[in-house]
A and B are shown apart, each in its own frame.
Chain A
Amino acid sequence: MINTIQDVKKKFDVEDVRKDFPILQRAVNGSELVYLDNAATTQKPQAVIDALTHYYTYDNANIHRGLYFLSEFATEQYENARLKVKEFINAISASEIIFVRGTTEAINLVATSLWREKYFNEGDEVIISNMEHHANIVPWQIAGGRKKINLKVIPITDDGELDLNAYESLINEKTKLVSIVHISNSLGTINPIKKIVDIAHSKKIPVLIDGAQAIPHFKVDVQELDADFYAFSGHKIFGPTGIGVLYGKTELLEMMPPYQGGGDMIRTVTFEKTTFDDLPRKFEAGTPNIAGAIGLGAAIDYLNQFDRNDLCNYENELLNYATARLLEIDGLKIIGNAKEKASVISFVIDGIHPYDIGTIIDTDGIAIRTGHHCTQPIMNRYNLPATARASLSFYNTKSEIDKLIVGLQKVKKMFA
């Protein structure tokens, strides 16, 4: 078989990959940084940093406005980033890609816009799950102002899997939307999202997927999933902060009114009436995060060098290794033991508060997250005030996991 240039993927080698991320070379508290908080945000490869620097150094101009060279060139790059995102998630059209600040803004956009369209009436229901991030809870609670959308919550099992029977029984004539996380940021559970979509669609209910944690882990194809909306953040896939994506099916986005008003989203404005521009600009009021979009495009290019399956397989290998090693620690319990799981591991240690764990290992340069991970309902579900969480990316190594284990053993000794 003859491979085209695009088909030839770079062989994945973790030591090579680490060289692409300058921050991994830095020291923290006198030790080499061990960064295990990738579910919060990922580090940036040099290619992304260079794209941002290059844009601001040579190409900065406002887009969609000027007819001069720089403005047109900046516009081209911004729109080219949109095309990259379209290809990346296999959307039908680039106009289905709305640039937003991140997953949170994407969900707020949908909630607010659908409410304005009177798609929801007071007392209508949105189905979410017990493992949602606050970003997929609060927007629905505030969308209607004093009028309430009711949230129906799919329960989870002790292992951290969705109860799909309960999900089906929650659907009724008041259900207007299912809004569900693809991969849980606190448990690591990979939800059977295709099945969830199919069940909802069989009752003609659209589905929004919070893909913030899924997008960095594996290839997402919005057409294959038949997602109605798919939201994710650039900074969790090695891109800049402040840029994210809302994918929406054209017919839904067309029906929805603008989220914010301002420049660049209009066609004609008089004091009496304004008509709005076409998709996607209808939803991108004001000067957007041009550099951020270009940086996100660079992050996608970076990922596309590799066979995503290689990265995913390696992350799974790290997950299995870390799980086995963590369980060697006496009194350590992993929260979230779904059969399908991404490289996010929440844990608690008997008698030691996660805050203390995080503080002590930080002195050795090991960064993990401690707290409720913006998922308080799930902490309540397990009756925990907080957990410690290690989340791994493809640039992490087994030796970093070993350092975490040494750190945790030290914590155990201090609290013995």
Chain B
Amino acid sequence: MTIHELQENIVKEFEQYGDWEERYKHIINLGRALPAIGESIRTEKYKLSGCQSQVWINAKLDEGKIFFEADSDAAIVKGLIALLIKVYSGHTPDEILYNPPYFLKDIGIDKHLSPTRKNGLGAMMKQIQMYAVAFRTMLNKVN
């Protein structure tokens, strides 16, 4: 599926939840289902500086596609991370860079992405794009 289709699916998925409580419950469950990251990733090296919650992220390039793994100590942030991974993991750098995350706004949780909120999620999205830029540069050099 393309990043666009994946985002559309999430928007549809969230339409079934009426109120905030239901939406957050769903986000928390998504976080719980996210595979645990290794202890070696849960370290300062992979930590994003955020004000309110801690976020760790790592990325690997495999056959031109980027795969992300990430975690947070806050359940809601972890759930939002799970959504970002669902959308962006397994895509090429160009695909990632040309498809910004509009679904967060559509499901009404874009306030978590605002830079002033300092919760690490905005930093995480930026980091995903930075990885894409870095891997694209690397791929261009190889070719």
Contact = CB atoms under 8 A, between A and B. Distances in A.
A410 B54 CA distance: 24
Interface in B27-63: 28, 51-54
A352 B76 CA distance: 10
B75 A363 contact: no
Interface stretch (A108-116, A265-273, A353-361): A353-361
Interface stretch (B9-17, B18-26, B92-100, B126-134): B18-26
B52 A370 contact: yes
A355 B25 contact: no
B139 interface: no
A355 B74 contact: yes
Interface in B59-88: 73-77
Shortest 10 CB-CB distances between A and B: which pairs? A353-B74, A355-B74, A363-B20, A355-B53, A355-B52, A371-B52, A356-B75, A356-B76, A359-B76, A356-B74
B119 A414 contact: no
Greatest chain B CB density within 10 A among A355, A356, A371, A372 is at: A355
Given A353-B53, A355-B52, A370-B52, A385 B24 contact: no
Interface of B: 20-21, 24-25, 28, 51-54, 73-77, 119
A386 B74 CA distance: 11
Nearest to B51: A371
A410 B24 CA distance: 12
25 contacts: A353-B53, A353-B73, A353-B75, A354-B52, A355-B53, A355-B77, A355-B119, A356-B74, A359-B24, A360-B76, A363-B20, A363-B21, A363-B24, A371-B51, A371-B52, A372-B51, A385-B53, A385-B54, A386-B52, A386-B53, A414-B21, A414-B24, A414-B25, A414-B28, A415-B28
Contacts of A386: 52-53
B43 to A, nearest CB: 15
A355 B73 CA distance: 9
B67 to A, nearest CB: 26
B139 to A, nearest CB: 36
Contacts of B77: 353, 355
Contacts of A385: 53-54, 73
Contacts of A352: 75
A6 interface: no
Contacts, number: 43
A372 B50 CA distance: 11
Interface of A: 29, 352-356, 358-360, 363, 370-372, 385-386, 410, 414-415
Nearest to B75: A356
A403 to B, nearest CB: 15
A283 B143 CA distance: 62
A264 B73 CA distance: 51
B108 to A, nearest CB: 11
Contacts of B24: 359-360, 363, 414
Nearest to A353: B74
A138 to B, nearest CB: 16
Contacts of B76: 355-356, 359-360
Contacts of A363: 20-21, 24
B137 to A, nearest CB: 34
Nearest to A363: B20
A300 to B, nearest CB: 31
A372 B51 CA distance: 8
A354 B77 CA distance: 12
A408 to B, nearest CB: 14
A360 B74 CA distance: 12
A415 B20 CA distance: 15
Contacts of B21: 360, 363, 410, 414
Given A29-B20, A355-B52, A355-B53, 14 more contacts: A353-B53, A353-B73, A355-B74, A355-B119, A356-B74, A356-B75, A356-B76, A363-B20, A370-B52, A371-B52, A386-B53, A410-B21, A414-B21, A414-B28
